[in-house]
Amino acid sequence: MDLTSKLRRFLPPQNNSDTDSRQTACDLDSLLHGQEVDTPFGPCYVIEETWPLAKRHGHWTLREVIETEYRSLDLYGHPCDNFDLHRALFLDTETTGLAGGTGTYAFLVGLGFFTPSHFVVKQLLMRDYNEELALLYLLDQEIQTKDTIISFNGKTFDLPLLQTRFTISRLGLAGTREKRHVDLLHMARRLWKQKLQSCSLTSLETHILGVKRVGDIPGYEIPGRYFEFLQTRDGTLLQDIVIHNVIDIVSMSTLLYRLQTTAELPPEECDCSYEAEAIAHLSFHSRKPRLALKYLEAAAQLSSDDEQYLRISRNAAAILKRLGQYERALPIWKRILEIAPDDLSTAEELAKYYEHRTKDLTSAEQITRRALAVAWQSRSPKTSALEHRLRRLERKTHARTAP
């Protein structure tokens, strides 16, 4: 038995694909409106689309995006000194798989950047595996003209994948290695993780950016669609992917804009309790506790959700305590216990306050007893600490009342 028939027997075909028959001659130019570009490593395909700055994408125009100063992004934990959007490159890849590893290829790399008059989306497409080197060569040229890469989830996905491709290509190209990288997903999570169930780009488009996609191809279908294109050369298979990638890039630009403007929104202008709460949290971590308090106040006023209200109040009280403003923390603690009598941590705070600050042992004891009753009932791990506190309070009271 020869090897091939043996293979057929041992490892029978798994996918009965009928695509072989459809060998459509492909005229990509008329479908994708791009052109072949030659490089020292052979050709690859480049699609360039220019968007006038007046064009609106969701809630904002591209002019608004480019005419903003991006000076507050460090609120989200990304140091952004000297950030200049003119020297930044939006980047998003479409790949042959999501598993990662050395066998996953980026077959389409979308890039976005501003010129004085336009927003340009440039897409590099390898029409087959042998065009990868040319794609990487062109990609590197684009990257080297800029100093910052902006991506959505690029930290874990796109950039390592491209670095792997650059390493395997052995062209000696630096790729994104020495560039500053801004990952919008990480920023978006910091701002909206309480507000949104998912911080995927599609979810952000729907809830934050006002972008509605029609007939968008789901991400998981993309590798299969590309493989089918390789077999059939049918360019229509790529149209949806190219459009999907363009929207990803443009949405990134308005997302960046929204992140910047929100970071500078004064507390009194906030209209979303979750955003105000998130900014408070971020301000606190930027060592601006007083500003954080202002945002928390705004958030508390906007909040219509008890659980969030309690969380905001606890945080506010904790900050006030740290600032030594006990007289402002006191009514908040009291308010919390009115709404949530079983909040043992707050009860503890209050008991501490009475015991150590105002030396009001009676109130301290009363609160501790009430808390202990709750703790016993709920078998809380705080029980022993509360018992300990109560014993001490009783001792102190006794010492005070004893002659």
Partner 1 sequence: MSVGVESVLQKIESNPRFMNNVTFRHTIPAEPGVYEPIPDFLPVKLQELLRRKGIEALYSHQAAALHEVRDGKDIVVVTPTASGKTLCYNLPVITTLLANEEARALYLFPTKALAQDQVAELMVWSDELGGKIKTYTYDGDTPGDARIAIRSAGSIVVTNPDMLHSGILPHHTKWMRLFENLKYVVIDELHIYRGVFGSHVANVLRRLERICKFYGASPQFICTSATIANPQEHGEALLGRSVTVIDKNGAPRGQKDIMFYNPPVVNKPLGIRRSSLLEAEAVAHELIAAKIPTIVFTRSRLNTEVLVTYLRKSFQKLGEPHETIRAYRGGYLPKQRREIERDLRAGKVLGVVSTNALELGIDIGTLQAAVLTGYPGTIASTWQQLGRAGRTDQPSLAVLVANSSPLNQFIIQNPSYFIDKGAEYARINPNNLYILVSHLKCAAFELPFAVGENFGEVDPAEILDYLADQMILRKVEDRWYWMSENYPAVDVSLRSASTENFAIIDTTDGKTRVIGEIDRFSAPMLVHEGAIYIHESAQYHIDKLDWDRQKAYAREVDVDYYTDANLDVELKVLDVFEHEELPQVKRNWGEVMVVAKTHMYKKIKFYTHENIGWGNISLPEQELHTTAYWFSVPKEKVENLDRGALQSALVGASHLLGNIASLELMCEPSDLGVTAQIRSPFTGDPTVYIYEKYPGGVGFSEQLFEAHGRLLWRALSIIKKCPCPSGCPSCVGPVEEVGVEGKTHTSWFLKGVLEHGSNQQTEEILTPTE
> Minimum Å distance from CB 243 to partner 1?
21
Is 41 a binding residue for partner 1 by CB under 8 A? The answer is: no
Residue nearer to partner 1 on the CB measure, 110 or 223: 223
- Which residues, 6 or more positions from 217, have their beta carbon under 8 angstroms from its beta carbon? 225, 240, 241, 244
Of the candidate residues 72, 96, 144, 202, the single one contacting partner 1 (CB under 8 A)? 96
Tokens of 257: 């804009």
By CB under 8 A, the residues from 196 to 255 that bind partner 1 are 223-224, 227, 230-231
> Minimum Å distance from CB 213 to partner 1?
23
Of the candidate residues 27, 128, 360, 394, the single one contacting partner 1 (CB under 8 A)? 128
Query: Which window, 1-9, 185-193, 302-310, 361-369, contacts partner 1 (CB under 8 A)?
Result: 1-9
Of the candidate residues 25, 99, 399, 402, the single one contacting partner 1 (CB under 8 A)? 99
Question: What is each CA distance from 391 to 171, 343, 374, in whole angstroms?
Answer: 74, 21, 17
Query: Which window, 61-69, 128-136, 192-200, 239-247, contacts partner 1 (CB under 8 A)?
Result: 128-136
Query: Which window, 81-89, 98-106, 291-299, 375-383, contacts partner 1 (CB under 8 A)?
Result: 98-106
> Minimum Å distance from CB 99 to partner 1?
4
Residue nearer to partner 1 on the CB measure, 167 or 377: 167
> Minimum Å distance from CB 275 to partner 1?
31
Assign 3-state DSSP to the chain and report helix, strand, coil percentages, each to 5.
60, 15, 30
> Minimum Å distance from CB 42 to partner 1?
10
In the numeric block, the tokens 């340009």 are attached to: 120
Closest among 336, 341, 402, 339 to 366, alpha carbons compared:
341
Residue nearer to partner 1 on the CB measure, 143 or 249: 143
43 vs 47: CA distance, rounded Å: 13
> Minimum Å distance from CB 108 to partner 1?
15
Phi-psi region of 94 (alpha: psi -120 to 50; beta: other; left: phi over 0): beta
Pairing relation of β-strands 180-183 and 148-151?
parallel
Is 15 a binding residue for partner 1 by CB under 8 A? The answer is: yes
Pairing relation of β-strands 88-95 and 148-151?
parallel
218 vs 220: CA distance, rounded Å: 6
In SS3 terms, 307-323 reads as HHHHHHHHHHHHHHHHC
Of the candidate residues 35, 82, 130, 198, the single one contacting partner 1 (CB under 8 A)? 130
Is 102 a binding residue for partner 1 by CB under 8 A? The answer is: yes
> Minimum Å distance from CB 288 to partner 1?
30
Query: Which window, 101-109, 247-255, 267-275, 326-334, contacts partner 1 (CB under 8 A)?
Result: 101-109
Is 156 a binding residue for partner 1 by CB under 8 A? The answer is: no
Is 164 a binding residue for partner 1 by CB under 8 A? The answer is: yes
The H-or-E segment that residue 259 falls in is: helix 236-263
Residue nearer to partner 1 on the CB measure, 41 or 326: 41
Using only C-alpha atoms, the chain has a radius of gyration, in whole angstroms, of: 29
Is 101 a binding residue for partner 1 by CB under 8 A? The answer is: yes
> Minimum Å distance from CB 37 to partner 1?
19
> Minimum Å distance from CB 22 to partner 1?
14
182 vs 174: CA distance, rounded Å: 18
Alpha helix (H) ranges present in 83-196? 132-144, 159-169, 184-192
Is 10 a binding residue for partner 1 by CB under 8 A? The answer is: yes
Residue nearer to partner 1 on the CB measure, 79 or 100: 100
Tokens of 166: 């650059």
Distance from the first to the final alpha carbon of the chain: 108
Pairing relation of β-strands 106-114 and 118-125?
antiparallel
Number of Cβ within 10 Å of residue 148's Cβ equals 17
Strand, helix or coil for residue 133: helix
13 vs 15: CA distance, rounded Å: 6
Query: Which window, 8-16, 264-272, 287-295, 359-367, contacts partner 1 (CB under 8 A)?
Result: 8-16
Is 23 a binding residue for partner 1 by CB under 8 A? The answer is: no
Residues found near partner 1 in the complex (CB under 8 A): 1, 3-4, 6-11, 13-15, 17, 96-103, 105, 128-130, 163-164, 167-168, 223-224, 227, 230-231
